[in-house]
């Protein structure tokens, strides 16, 4: 099966949101990409409560200082495209009240003709949770479960009714409805997160893993899905990777995956596909200066991937 390819949209400080998002999204569709994606990062604290990705002492990168809102970014992309799917990898559920987020996703899906992929996760930054003021950090898993319930209710037939810990909807008409059932993909790789994917999601959103790292986690996920009476083969897998093409080979000892020469990156992608990734979200934006450079690099690698038979 041909590996599906997605492209991360430009959201970081060096990009012009008036021009680059639309230009890159339009070009991605023309090149042949299957999807375009936005991610969520709301701030960079001067004195973080958590290290990057929750790793104690790990510094936050400076490019998180300015990240365009993912739903606005995807809306801009939807307006200039007709075919590519519009994905979030990921929206941090606890930064959003469930009912308004469910409505925004439904409206975007209706407006785009059924192209939204709702990628959700619990996040890892206590600072972001405090700033949003929606959910306590300790409640992030329970809030994600409620968000999934609210989305199912809001996207379903009227009258919509729901009562939970954070949300109460008296029987009501709620629209617009999505153009079709919006697929929900969930992030996370610990035991609790994989169990939630196995029980509730249409797909899984792992991040920055090699094929060797992906394979055992995917095995655990498929086993969990079968325990819950689901067909593990129906779970989609979209792997997000940060690409840094140096143009020259890097020593394998200590090389970060998806960096180095084209040959090294292609080998990494082949390994991910062999391990079970059905789609890879290629994110070039950290290492590009503007939308044109991002588009040029994406077009070049896309052509090399397809020429390699992936």
One DSSP character per residue, 156-194 reads: SSSSEEEE-SS-EEEEE---PPPSSPPPEEEE--SHHHH
pLDDT of residue 13: 93
Owner of token pair 């941090």 = 92
Angle at the Cα of 105 (from 143 to 102), degrees rounded to 5? Answer: 35
pLDDT of residue 34: 98
Radius of gyration (Cα) for the chain, nearest Å? 19
Q: How far is CA 301 from CA 24, 130, 193, in A?
A: 15, 40, 32
pLDDT of residue 242: 96
3-class SS at 4?
A: strand
pLDDT of residue 298: 98
Taking each continuous run of H as one helix and of E as one strand, the counts in the chain are 9, 13
Q: First and final CA of the chain: distance in angstroms? A: 8
Give the integer Cα–Cα distance in Å for 278 and 235. 10
> Which of 201, 196, 188, 107 has its CA nearest to residue 155?
107
Which mean pLDDT values do the consecutive 10-residue runs of the chain (310 residues) have?
A: 94 94 98 98 92 87 90 98 98 98 98 98 95 96 98 98 97 97 96 95 97 97 96 95 92 93 97 97 96 97 97
> Which of 12, 9, 2, 109 has its CA nearest to residue 66?
12
Q: How far is CA 31 from CA 8, 37, 133, in A?
A: 14, 15, 41
pLDDT of residue 6: 98
For CA atoms 158, 73, 36, 120, give the dihedral sign: negative
The residues, ordered by sequence, that sit 6+ positions from 234 with a Cβ below 8 Å of its Cβ are 202
């Amino acid at each position: 099966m041909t590996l599906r390819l997605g492209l991360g949209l430009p959201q970081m400080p060096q990009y012009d949101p008036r021009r680059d998002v639309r230009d890159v999204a339009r070009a991605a569709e023309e090149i042949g990409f299957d999807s375009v994606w936005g991610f969520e990062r709301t701030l960079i604290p001067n004195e973080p409560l958590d290290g990057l990705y929750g790793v104690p002492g790990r510094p936050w990168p400076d490019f998180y200082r300015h990240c365009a809102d993912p739903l606005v970014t995807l809306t801009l992309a939807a307006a200039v495209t007709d075919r590519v799917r519009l994905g979030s990898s990921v929206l941090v559920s606890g930064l959003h009240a469930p009912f308004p987020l469910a409505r925004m996703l439904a409206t975007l899906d209706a407006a785009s003709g059924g192209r939204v992929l709702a990628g959700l996760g619990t996040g890892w930054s206590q600072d972001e949770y405090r700033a949003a003021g929606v959910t306590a950090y300790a409640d992030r898993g329970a809030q994600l479960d409620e968000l999934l319930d609210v989305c199912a209710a809001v996207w379903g037939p009227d009258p919509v009714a729901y009562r939970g810990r954070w949300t109460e909807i008296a029987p009501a008409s709620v629209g617009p409805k999505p153009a079709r059932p919006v697929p929900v993909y969930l992030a996370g790789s610990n035991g609790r997160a994989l169990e939630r994917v196995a029980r509730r999601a249409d797909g899984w959103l792992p991040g920055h893993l090699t094929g060797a790292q992906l394979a055992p986690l995917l095995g655990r996920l498929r086993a969990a899905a079968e325990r819950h009476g689901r067909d593990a083969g129906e779970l989609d897998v979209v792997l997000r990777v940060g690409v840094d093409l140096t143009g020259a080979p890097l020593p394998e000892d200590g090389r970060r995956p998806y960096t180095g020469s084209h040959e090294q990156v292609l080998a990494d992608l082949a390994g991910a596909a062999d391990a079970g990734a059905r789609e890879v979200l290629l994110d070039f934006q950290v290492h590009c200066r503007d939308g044109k450079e991002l588009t040029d690099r994406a077009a070049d690698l896309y052509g090399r991937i397809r020429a390699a038979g992936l």
